[in-house]
Amino acid sequence: MNRDEEIKKMILDKAENDSRIRSVLLNGSRANAKIARDKFQDFDIVYIVSETESFLSDHSWIRIFGDLLIMQMPDEMIIDNKKQGSSFAYLMLFKDGNRIDLTLYPSDKFKNEFIKDSLSVVLLDKDNLFLNLPAPSEKDYLIKRPTEKEFSDCCNEFWWVCTYVAKGLCRNEIVYAKEMFEVPVRKMFFKIIEWKIGIENAFSVSFGKSGKYMKNYFAKELFEKILLTYPDHQGENIWNALFLMTELFSAFANEISRELQFKYNKEDEFNVRSYLKQLFNEVGR
Protein backbone atom coordinates (compact mmCIF):
# COMPACT_ATOMS: atom_id res chain seq x y z
CA MET A 1 0.00 0.00 0.00
CA ASN A 2 1.48 3.37 -1.01
CA ARG A 3 1.44 6.42 1.25
CA ASP A 4 -1.57 8.00 -0.51
CA GLU A 5 -3.61 4.87 0.10
CA GLU A 6 -2.40 4.72 3.70
CA ILE A 7 -3.50 8.31 4.34
CA LYS A 8 -6.89 7.73 2.75
CA LYS A 9 -7.33 4.57 4.85
CA MET A 10 -6.42 6.43 8.06
CA ILE A 11 -8.90 9.20 7.23
CA LEU A 12 -11.67 6.66 6.62
CA ASP A 13 -10.76 4.36 9.51
CA LYS A 14 -11.01 7.28 11.90
CA ALA A 15 -14.41 8.25 10.48
CA GLU A 16 -15.83 4.74 10.40
CA ASN A 17 -14.84 4.06 14.01
CA ASP A 18 -15.91 7.40 15.46
CA SER A 19 -19.66 7.84 15.88
CA ARG A 20 -19.25 11.62 15.95
CA ILE A 21 -18.10 11.66 12.32
CA ARG A 22 -21.12 11.28 10.05
CA SER A 23 -19.76 11.95 6.55
CA VAL A 24 -16.42 12.37 4.78
CA LEU A 25 -15.81 14.42 1.65
CA LEU A 26 -12.70 14.66 -0.48
CA ASN A 27 -12.40 18.09 -2.14
CA GLY A 28 -9.86 19.92 -4.27
CA SER A 29 -7.34 18.65 -6.79
CA ARG A 30 -7.56 15.02 -5.69
CA ALA A 31 -11.23 15.11 -6.67
CA ASN A 32 -10.36 16.50 -10.10
CA ALA A 33 -9.64 13.84 -12.72
CA LYS A 34 -8.07 16.48 -14.99
CA ILE A 35 -5.23 17.22 -12.58
CA ALA A 36 -2.09 15.10 -12.80
CA ARG A 37 -1.07 13.54 -9.51
CA ASP A 38 2.09 14.65 -7.76
CA LYS A 39 3.59 14.41 -4.28
CA PHE A 40 2.58 17.96 -3.35
CA GLN A 41 -1.18 17.46 -3.63
CA ASP A 42 -3.07 18.02 -0.40
CA PHE A 43 -5.79 15.78 0.92
CA ASP A 44 -8.62 18.31 1.28
CA ILE A 45 -11.00 16.54 3.64
CA VAL A 46 -14.27 17.57 5.25
CA TYR A 47 -15.63 15.68 8.25
CA ILE A 48 -19.31 16.35 8.88
CA VAL A 49 -19.54 15.82 12.64
CA SER A 50 -22.34 15.60 15.17
CA GLU A 51 -20.54 18.19 17.32
CA THR A 52 -17.17 19.93 17.36
CA GLU A 53 -16.57 20.68 21.05
CA SER A 54 -15.04 17.32 21.95
CA PHE A 55 -12.65 17.49 18.99
CA LEU A 56 -11.56 21.02 19.80
CA SER A 57 -11.07 20.47 23.52
CA ASP A 58 -8.00 18.32 22.83
CA HIS A 59 -6.31 18.76 19.45
CA SER A 60 -3.96 15.82 19.98
CA TRP A 61 -6.39 13.46 18.19
CA ILE A 62 -5.10 14.61 14.80
CA ARG A 63 -1.72 12.98 15.52
CA ILE A 64 -3.14 9.64 14.35
CA PHE A 65 -2.40 10.80 10.79
CA GLY A 66 1.39 10.95 11.18
CA ASP A 67 4.38 12.86 12.52
CA LEU A 68 3.72 16.56 12.11
CA LEU A 69 6.31 18.87 10.62
CA ILE A 70 4.11 21.91 11.21
CA MET A 71 0.42 22.59 11.70
CA GLN A 72 -1.82 25.61 11.48
CA MET A 73 -5.28 26.12 12.94
CA PRO A 74 -6.35 29.33 11.17
CA ASP A 75 -9.63 29.57 13.05
CA GLU A 76 -7.73 30.00 16.33
CA MET A 77 -5.36 32.63 14.98
CA ILE A 78 -5.81 36.34 15.59
CA ILE A 79 -3.65 37.52 12.68
CA ASP A 80 -5.52 37.79 9.36
CA ASN A 81 -8.37 35.76 10.82
CA LYS A 82 -11.33 35.93 8.46
CA LYS A 83 -13.30 33.14 10.05
CA GLN A 84 -16.86 32.81 8.86
CA GLY A 85 -19.40 30.18 9.81
CA SER A 86 -19.06 27.26 12.18
CA SER A 87 -16.33 25.13 10.62
CA PHE A 88 -12.87 24.48 12.06
CA ALA A 89 -9.80 23.65 9.99
CA TYR A 90 -6.58 21.78 10.71
CA LEU A 91 -3.85 22.39 8.12
CA MET A 92 -1.25 19.67 8.60
CA LEU A 93 2.10 19.10 6.92
CA PHE A 94 3.79 15.85 7.89
CA LYS A 95 7.47 15.00 8.08
CA ASP A 96 7.16 12.69 5.08
CA GLY A 97 6.00 15.67 2.97
CA ASN A 98 2.31 14.77 2.79
CA ARG A 99 -0.35 17.24 3.76
CA ILE A 100 -3.93 17.00 4.99
CA ASP A 101 -6.25 20.00 5.19
CA LEU A 102 -9.03 18.70 7.41
CA THR A 103 -12.17 20.71 8.11
CA LEU A 104 -14.74 19.86 10.76
CA TYR A 105 -18.28 20.93 9.94
CA PRO A 106 -21.14 20.54 12.46
CA SER A 107 -24.10 18.59 11.14
CA ASP A 108 -26.64 20.91 12.79
CA LYS A 109 -25.44 23.70 10.46
CA PHE A 110 -25.38 21.46 7.40
CA LYS A 111 -28.86 22.10 6.02
CA ASN A 112 -28.80 25.91 6.11
CA GLU A 113 -25.12 26.85 5.87
CA PHE A 114 -23.06 24.15 4.18
CA ILE A 115 -21.93 25.07 0.65
CA LYS A 116 -21.17 22.05 -1.50
CA ASP A 117 -17.98 22.33 -3.53
CA SER A 118 -18.31 21.18 -7.15
CA LEU A 119 -15.02 19.28 -6.74
CA SER A 120 -16.26 16.82 -4.13
CA VAL A 121 -16.16 13.05 -3.80
CA VAL A 122 -18.12 11.30 -1.06
CA LEU A 123 -15.90 8.85 0.83
CA LEU A 124 -18.36 8.05 3.60
CA ASP A 125 -21.99 9.02 4.23
CA LYS A 126 -23.56 7.43 7.30
CA ASP A 127 -26.72 9.56 7.20
CA ASN A 128 -27.27 9.76 3.41
CA LEU A 129 -26.61 13.49 3.31
CA PHE A 130 -25.09 13.35 -0.16
CA LEU A 131 -27.32 10.97 -2.08
CA ASN A 132 -27.82 13.41 -4.97
CA LEU A 133 -24.34 14.91 -5.10
CA PRO A 134 -23.31 15.41 -8.75
CA ALA A 135 -20.12 13.94 -10.13
CA PRO A 136 -17.10 16.16 -9.35
CA SER A 137 -16.52 18.97 -11.82
CA GLU A 138 -14.61 22.25 -12.11
CA LYS A 139 -17.88 24.21 -12.33
CA ASP A 140 -17.18 26.36 -9.26
CA TYR A 141 -13.68 27.20 -10.47
CA LEU A 142 -14.25 28.18 -14.08
CA ILE A 143 -13.37 31.71 -15.16
CA LYS A 144 -16.50 33.81 -14.96
CA ARG A 145 -17.51 36.31 -17.60
CA PRO A 146 -17.11 39.84 -16.18
CA THR A 147 -19.78 42.47 -16.16
CA GLU A 148 -18.99 45.76 -17.85
CA LYS A 149 -18.85 47.40 -14.42
CA GLU A 150 -16.29 44.85 -13.19
CA PHE A 151 -14.20 45.43 -16.29
CA SER A 152 -14.38 49.21 -15.91
CA ASP A 153 -13.49 49.09 -12.22
CA CYS A 154 -10.55 46.78 -12.88
CA CYS A 155 -9.13 49.10 -15.53
CA ASN A 156 -9.61 52.19 -13.37
CA GLU A 157 -7.92 50.54 -10.40
CA PHE A 158 -4.99 49.38 -12.50
CA TRP A 159 -4.24 52.78 -14.03
CA TRP A 160 -4.88 54.63 -10.76
CA VAL A 161 -2.48 52.54 -8.66
CA CYS A 162 0.21 52.54 -11.36
CA THR A 163 0.74 56.18 -10.38
CA TYR A 164 1.50 55.05 -6.81
CA VAL A 165 4.25 52.78 -8.11
CA ALA A 166 5.78 55.68 -10.01
CA LYS A 167 5.52 57.95 -6.95
CA GLY A 168 7.39 55.41 -4.87
CA LEU A 169 10.09 55.03 -7.47
CA CYS A 170 10.53 58.79 -7.80
CA ARG A 171 11.00 59.04 -4.03
CA ASN A 172 13.30 56.02 -4.04
CA GLU A 173 10.82 54.29 -1.73
CA ILE A 174 11.49 50.88 -3.23
CA VAL A 175 9.59 48.87 -0.63
CA TYR A 176 6.47 50.98 -1.13
CA ALA A 177 6.79 50.88 -4.93
CA LYS A 178 7.19 47.08 -4.91
CA GLU A 179 4.21 46.64 -2.58
CA MET A 180 1.95 48.73 -4.83
CA PHE A 181 3.23 46.97 -7.93
CA GLU A 182 3.00 43.41 -6.67
CA VAL A 183 -0.27 43.64 -4.77
CA PRO A 184 -3.01 45.99 -6.09
CA VAL A 185 -1.56 46.53 -9.58
CA ARG A 186 -0.74 42.89 -10.26
CA LYS A 187 -4.11 41.82 -8.88
CA MET A 188 -5.85 43.85 -11.60
CA PHE A 189 -3.34 42.65 -14.20
CA PHE A 190 -4.26 39.08 -13.30
CA LYS A 191 -7.97 39.83 -13.63
CA ILE A 192 -7.44 41.07 -17.17
CA ILE A 193 -5.34 38.01 -18.02
CA GLU A 194 -8.00 35.74 -16.54
CA TRP A 195 -10.78 37.33 -18.59
CA LYS A 196 -8.68 37.13 -21.76
CA ILE A 197 -8.17 33.41 -21.17
CA GLY A 198 -11.88 33.05 -20.42
CA ILE A 199 -12.87 34.66 -23.71
CA GLU A 200 -10.45 32.53 -25.69
CA ASN A 201 -11.77 29.36 -24.06
CA ALA A 202 -15.50 30.11 -23.91
CA PHE A 203 -15.26 30.58 -20.13
CA SER A 204 -14.87 26.82 -19.76
CA VAL A 205 -11.44 26.62 -18.07
CA SER A 206 -9.90 27.39 -14.70
CA PHE A 207 -7.29 30.08 -14.05
CA GLY A 208 -6.10 28.28 -10.92
CA LYS A 209 -5.09 29.76 -7.60
CA SER A 210 -2.72 32.70 -8.17
CA GLY A 211 -2.95 32.05 -11.90
CA LYS A 212 -1.05 28.77 -11.70
CA TYR A 213 -2.68 27.40 -14.89
CA MET A 214 -2.01 30.58 -16.88
CA LYS A 215 0.93 29.14 -18.78
CA ASN A 216 -1.30 26.40 -20.24
CA TYR A 217 -3.23 28.95 -22.30
CA PHE A 218 -0.51 31.19 -23.71
CA ALA A 219 2.17 30.78 -26.33
CA LYS A 220 5.62 30.48 -24.76
CA GLU A 221 6.72 33.92 -25.99
CA LEU A 222 3.74 35.71 -24.44
CA PHE A 223 4.01 33.82 -21.15
CA GLU A 224 7.70 34.71 -20.91
CA LYS A 225 6.75 38.37 -21.43
CA ILE A 226 4.40 38.12 -18.49
CA LEU A 227 7.19 36.60 -16.39
CA LEU A 228 9.36 39.60 -17.25
CA THR A 229 6.92 41.78 -15.30
CA TYR A 230 8.44 40.34 -12.09
CA PRO A 231 11.36 42.67 -11.33
CA ASP A 232 13.99 42.63 -8.60
CA HIS A 233 14.55 45.55 -6.21
CA GLN A 234 16.44 47.75 -8.64
CA GLY A 235 14.51 50.92 -9.49
CA GLU A 236 15.30 50.82 -13.21
CA ASN A 237 14.12 47.21 -13.44
CA ILE A 238 10.86 48.08 -11.67
CA TRP A 239 10.29 50.92 -14.14
CA ASN A 240 10.90 48.55 -17.07
CA ALA A 241 8.55 45.94 -15.62
CA LEU A 242 5.91 48.59 -15.02
CA PHE A 243 6.09 49.81 -18.62
CA LEU A 244 5.92 46.23 -19.92
CA MET A 245 2.91 45.48 -17.72
CA THR A 246 1.07 48.61 -18.90
CA GLU A 247 1.76 47.60 -22.49
CA LEU A 248 0.35 44.12 -21.94
CA PHE A 249 -2.59 45.40 -19.90
CA SER A 250 -3.48 47.82 -22.68
CA ALA A 251 -3.42 45.08 -25.32
CA PHE A 252 -5.51 42.68 -23.23
CA ALA A 253 -8.01 45.32 -22.08
CA ASN A 254 -8.58 46.54 -25.62
CA GLU A 255 -9.07 42.98 -26.78
CA ILE A 256 -11.62 42.28 -24.04
CA SER A 257 -13.38 45.54 -24.82
CA ARG A 258 -13.80 44.49 -28.45
CA GLU A 259 -14.80 40.91 -27.76
CA LEU A 260 -17.36 41.69 -25.06
CA GLN A 261 -18.42 45.03 -26.53
CA PHE A 262 -17.50 46.87 -23.35
CA LYS A 263 -16.55 50.54 -23.26
CA TYR A 264 -12.89 51.05 -22.38
CA ASN A 265 -11.66 54.37 -21.01
CA LYS A 266 -8.75 55.01 -23.36
CA GLU A 267 -8.36 58.52 -22.04
CA ASP A 268 -7.38 57.17 -18.60
CA GLU A 269 -4.85 54.90 -20.23
CA PHE A 270 -3.35 57.63 -22.40
CA ASN A 271 -3.13 60.08 -19.51
CA VAL A 272 -1.51 57.65 -17.09
CA ARG A 273 0.95 56.18 -19.59
CA SER A 274 2.01 59.70 -20.57
CA TYR A 275 2.36 60.66 -16.90
CA LEU A 276 4.51 57.60 -16.16
CA LYS A 277 6.83 58.37 -19.06
CA GLN A 278 7.10 61.99 -17.97
CA LEU A 279 8.10 61.00 -14.43
CA PHE A 280 10.56 58.44 -15.69
CA ASN A 281 12.21 60.98 -17.98
CA GLU A 282 12.42 63.50 -15.14
CA VAL A 283 13.73 61.37 -12.29
CA GLY A 284 13.51 57.73 -13.17
CA ARG A 285 16.77 57.30 -15.00
- For 265, the enclosing helix (H) or strand (E) is none
What's the whole-number mean pLDDT along residues 23-47?
91
| pLDDT, the chain, mean | 94
Least Cα distance to 52 among 43, 63, 61 occurs for 61
Tally the domains of the chain: 2
- Judge residue 177's burial from the number of C-beta atoms within 10 Å of its C-beta, 0-12 exposed, 13-18 middle, 19 or more buried: buried
Least Cα distance to 209 among 141, 277, 135, 144 occurs for 141
Residue 232 has pLDDT above 60, yes or no: yes
Asked if 276 and 147 sit in the same domain, the reply is yes
Task: Report phi then psi at 43, rounded to 5.
Answer: -95, 105
pLDDT at 128: 94
Residue 233 has pLDDT above 90, yes or no: yes
Residues whose CB falls within 8 Å of the CB of residue 26, separated by 6 or more in sequence, listed in order: 43, 44, 45, 120, 121, 123
Domain end: 115, 139, 163, which one? 139
Residue 273 has pLDDT above 80, yes or no: yes
Taking only the tens place, the pLDDT of each residue in 133-142 is: 999 999 999 9
What's the whole-number mean pLDDT along residues 235-239?
96
pLDDT band, residue 84 (cuts 50/70/90): low
- 197: containing domain: 142-284
- Quote the CA–CA distance of 28 and 37 in Å, as a whole number: 12
pTM higher than 0.85 for the full model?
Answer: yes
Q: How far, in whole angstroms, is CA 19 from its chain's centroid? A: 34
CATH number at residue 70: 3.30.460.10
Asked if 155 and 129 sit in the same domain, the reply is no
pLDDT band, residue 284 (cuts 50/70/90): low
